[in-house]
Amino acid sequence: MTGHGTREVLAVRYGNRTTTRAESFLNYHLYGEPDADLEIDYYFWVIRDPSGTTLVDTGFAPAAGNRRRRTWWTTPADALPGVGVDPAEVATIVVTHAHWDHTGNLHQFPHAQLVMSQAEYGFWTSPMASRAHFAAHAEPDEIARLQQAREQDRLTLVTGQHRLADGIELIEVGGHTPGQLVVAAATATGTVVLASDAVHFYEEVERDRPFAIVADVPAMYRAYDLLASLASEPGTRLVAGHDPLVRTRFAPHPAGPDVTNLAAPG
Ligand SMILES: [Zn+2]
């Protein structure tokens, strides 16, 4: 085996917002509970080992975040040196799905190879993506940038389960978006499963409550089943995509309070 023993997996929190439970869980009235504020964090993820650095998503672009009134304080190119990564050394970027808060800042990595699912790319470049329910969550310029990368042979499209590198698997689950991917990375302490938006909040999978933004509800439930099953395996740990609990369930990183070491339980 190469590299697992020294592989680092980090979550970098770059923004946040206060939302509500009713806005976050699909048909929240079904649960008969009062509404309440809910903190949502925005992250991108870094997988680093001796063979190179892979980014998982690239956050939202500052202009898009400002327009949508999100709080943010950094971007990948600004944050990576703080965890010892030269942005120019990022060889691969996994685009877990094409929502605006995951596809910003791709221009910061003009030479990286991008990887996403065929279903996701096909959907967002189809006429259906312009319907309001979907268009609200994407930035047309960023979809165009993915198309440009495809034309430049810098975008690989995958289906099903895809081995990105030794010990790094991409698994297409759909649900939240038509081709949502999750990433499983082997480390010395076990497997870290980056759910991205297949699970925004742990509560979705732990209480079986679908998130409000969803393309396919049965697929979202099936993704919860798959992720719960993976998380039940010894040494495997699930990382929700937008949950502040990530920062208490895993260990802090010396780089600062917004960086979490996902290869170490909290
Ligand atoms: Zn999303």
Count Cβ neighbours within 10 Å for each residue of 140-154 and write b for 16 or more, e otherwise.
eebbebbeebbeeeb
User: DSSP letters along 34-83, please?
Assistant: ---EEEEEEEEEEEEETTEEEEE-----HHHHHHTT-EE---HHHHGGGG
Position 262 scores a pLDDT of: 96
* Contacts with 140 (C-beta within 8 Å, 6 or more apart), sequence order: none
Say what the pLDDT of residue 264 is.
Answer: 80
Length of the chain: 266
Residue 265 has what pLDDT? 72
Give average pLDDT by consecutive 10-residue segment, the chain, 266 residues.
Answer: 78 98 98 98 97 97 97 98 97 98 97 98 98 98 98 98 97 98 96 98 98 98 98 96 97 95 84
- Residue 202 is predicted with a pLDDT of 98
Neighbours of ion ligand 1 (CB under 5 A): 99, 197
Q: What separation in Å is there between the alpha carbon of 206 and the centre of ligand 1?
A: 19
The alpha carbon of 11 and the centre of ligand 1 are apart by a number of angstroms equal to: 16
Please give the distance, rounded to the nearest whole angstrom, from the Cα atom of residue 1 to the centre of ligand 1.
Answer: 33
Task: State the distance from the centre of ligand 1 to the C-alpha of 223, rounded, in angstroms.
Answer: 14
Q: What's residue 5's pLDDT? A: 78
pLDDT of residue 1: 45
Centre of ligand 1 from the C-alpha of residue 137, in Å? 7
Calculate how far, in angstroms, residue 176's C-alpha sits from the geometric centre of ligand 1. Answer: 7
